[in-house]
Structure 1
Amino acid sequence: MERFYTFLGSSLKKDLDLLRFLYLQKRFVPIEEISATLALDRRSIQKSFIALTKQLEQNAEEKHPILLAKHGAGYKFNGNKTDYKHLLRQLLAKNPFFQLLETLLLHNEINVVQFANDYFFSESTVRKRVYELENLLAPLGFTLKKSKGNVQLNGDEARIRYFMVAFFWRTFSGVDWPFNHLSQSKCEEIARAFYRNNHIPFNTIELKQTTYILAVICLRFRQGQTIAEEKLQLQPPLKGLDLTLFQQSTNPETPIFTQLSQELMTHFFLNEKECQFCFLWLMSNLERTFPEEQLNCYFPSKKTSDQQLTTIQKALASMTSPAEKMVISQPRKQVILNTILNGILSVELFGETVHTLAGYNTAQFLTEHFPNLQLHSEQLLAYLKVYHEDLEKRKGLALYVATAWTLILPPARFQQVIRIKLETDLPFALSLAIKELIQTPFQGFYNLDLRDHFEDDDYDLCISTSPLTATSAEIPVILINAQITLPDLLAIHQAIEGVLRK
Structure 2
Amino acid sequence: MPEEFIKHFAADIYSSDIHHQGYILKIIADHHHGMDISAIQEYFQLSRRTIYKYIESINEVAKLAEENETDENIHYGEIKKENNLYYFTGNQINFQYLFCKIIDKSIAMIISKQFLVNREINVKQFCYDNYISETALRRNISKFNSYMKKYGVSILISKGSLTLNGDSIKIRFGLATFLWRNYRGLQWPFANISQKSMRNLALRIGTIYSINFNEGKLNELMYIFGTNLSQIIVNNFIDPKEINQDLLDLLILDDRDQELYDYLNNNFDLNDTELNFVILWFKAMSDAYSSGNRAQVIFGKLKALNHPFYKKIVKYIMAVEGRTNVKIDFSTPAGELFLATVIAGQFHLNLFHDLSLTVSNIDMDHFGNNMDAGLFHGISELTRPNNTDLTEDELHTSIMFNAMAFLLIFPHHYFDPKINILVKMDATSFAEQIFTIHVKEILDPYFNIEIFTQKTMGYVVKPDVLVSTALFVDKSIDPDHQIFIKPQLDFNDSLYLREFMTRITKEKNPEIFDV
TM-score normalised per structure 1: 0.74
TM-fit CA distance, 1:283: 1.4
Assess, with a 3 A threshold, how the Cα gap between structure 1 residues 125 and 215 changes in structure 2: closer, same or farther: same
Unaligned runs of 5+ in 1: 237-245, 299-308, 464-468, 480-487
TM-fit CA distance, 1:381: 2.3
Q: In the TM superposition, what are the counterparts of 1:8-407 in structure 2 within 5 Å?
A: 8-16=14-22, 42-43=45-46, 49-50=51-52, 52-58=54-60, 59=62, 81-235=92-246, 250-252=250-252, 254-285=254-285, 286-288=288-290, 289-290=293-294, 310-324=311-325, 330-364=332-366, 367=369, 370-384=372-386, 386-407=387-408
Question: Are 2:467 and 1:461 equivalent residues in the alignment?
Answer: yes
Deviation per CA, 1:430-485, whole angstroms, max 9, x where unpaired? Answer: 9878856764675334444321137898634236xxxxx57998952544xxxxxx
Amino acid at match of 2:383: L
Amino acid at match of 2:342: I
SS at match of 2:267: helix
SS at match of 2:127: helix
User: In the alignment, which residue of structure 1 is the partner of 2:503?
Assistant: none
SS at match of 2:162: strand
TM-fit CA distance, 1:114: 0.4
User: In the alignment, which residue of structure 1 is the partner of 2:411?
Assistant: 410
SS at match of 1:107: coil
SS at match of 2:246: coil
Deviation per CA, 1:27-57, whole angstroms, max 9, x where unpaired? Answer: 9999999999xxx86237x677545533443
Assess, with a 3 A threshold, how the Cα gap between structure 1 residues 327 and 261 changes in structure 2: closer, same or farther: closer
SS at match of 1:371: helix
Measured in 2, the distance between the counterparts of 1:356 and 1:265 equals 26
Measured in 2, the distance between the counterparts of 1:70 and 1:325 equals 63
TM-fit CA distance, 1:392: 2.1
Measured in 2, the distance between the counterparts of 1:334 and 1:381 equals 20
User: In the alignment, which residue of structure 2 is the partner of 1:304?
Assistant: none
TM-score normalised per structure 2: 0.73
TM-fit CA distance, 1:63: 6.0
Measured in 1, the distance between the counterparts of 2:471 and 2:230 equals 67
Measured in 2, the distance between the counterparts of 1:2 and 1:379 equals 33
Q: In the TM superposition, what are the counterparts of 1:473-492 in structure 2 within 5 Å?
A: 476-479=484-487, 491=489
TM-fit CA distance, 1:21: 7.7
Deviation per CA, 1:214-241, whole angstroms, max 9, x where unpaired? Answer: 21111111111111223333437xxxxx
TM-fit CA distance, 1:196: 0.8
Amino acid at match of 2:494: I
Deviation per CA, 1:128-162, whole angstroms, max 9, x where unpaired? Answer: 54455444444432343444322111211111111
Assess, with a 3 A threshold, how the Cα gap between structure 1 residues 229 and 377 changes in structure 2: closer, same or farther: same
Assess, with a 3 A threshold, how the Cα gap between structure 1 residues 53 and 419 changes in structure 2: closer, same or farther: farther
Amino acid at match of 1:255: D
Aligned residues: 456
**Percent of residue pairs identical:** 17
Assess, with a 3 A threshold, how the Cα gap between structure 1 residues 313 and 66 changes in structure 2: closer, same or farther: farther
Measured in 2, the distance between the counterparts of 1:449 and 1:68 equals 52
Measured in 2, the distance between the counterparts of 1:214 and 1:277 equals 11
SS at match of 1:408: coil
User: In the alignment, which residue of structure 2 is the partner of 1:305?
Assistant: none
Measured in 2, the distance between the counterparts of 1:32 and 1:314 equals 61
TM-fit CA distance, 1:411: 3.1
Measured in 2, the distance between the counterparts of 1:379 and 1:47 equals 58
Assess, with a 3 A threshold, how the Cα gap between structure 1 residues 411 and 340 changes in structure 2: closer, same or farther: same
Answer with 286-295 or 343-352: which moved more: 286-295
Measured in 2, the distance between the counterparts of 1:127 and 1:436 equals 54
User: In the alignment, which residue of structure 1 is the partner of 2:307?
Assistant: none
Measured in 2, the distance between the counterparts of 1:275 and 1:493 equals 52
Amino acid at match of 1:103: Q
TM-fit CA distance, 1:26: 9.7
User: In the alignment, which residue of structure 2 is the partner of 1:240?
Assistant: none
CA RMSD, Structure 1 to Structure 2 (Å) = 4.5
Amino acid at match of 1:43: L
Amino acid at match of 1:283: K
SS at match of 1:175: coil
User: In the alignment, which residue of structure 2 is the partner of 1:498?
Assistant: 496
Amino acid at match of 1:476: F
Assess, with a 3 A threshold, how the Cα gap between structure 1 residues 166 and 334 changes in structure 2: closer, same or farther: same
TM-fit CA distance, 1:210: 1.6
Unaligned runs of 5+ in 2: 1-6, 64-74, 303-309, 475-481, 501-515
Assess, with a 3 A threshold, how the Cα gap between structure 1 residues 435 and 177 changes in structure 2: closer, same or farther: same
Deviation per CA, 1:409-446, whole angstroms, max 9, x where unpaired? Answer: 3234456847340556448xx98788567646753344
Assess, with a 3 A threshold, how the Cα gap between structure 1 residues 220 and 146 changes in structure 2: closer, same or farther: same
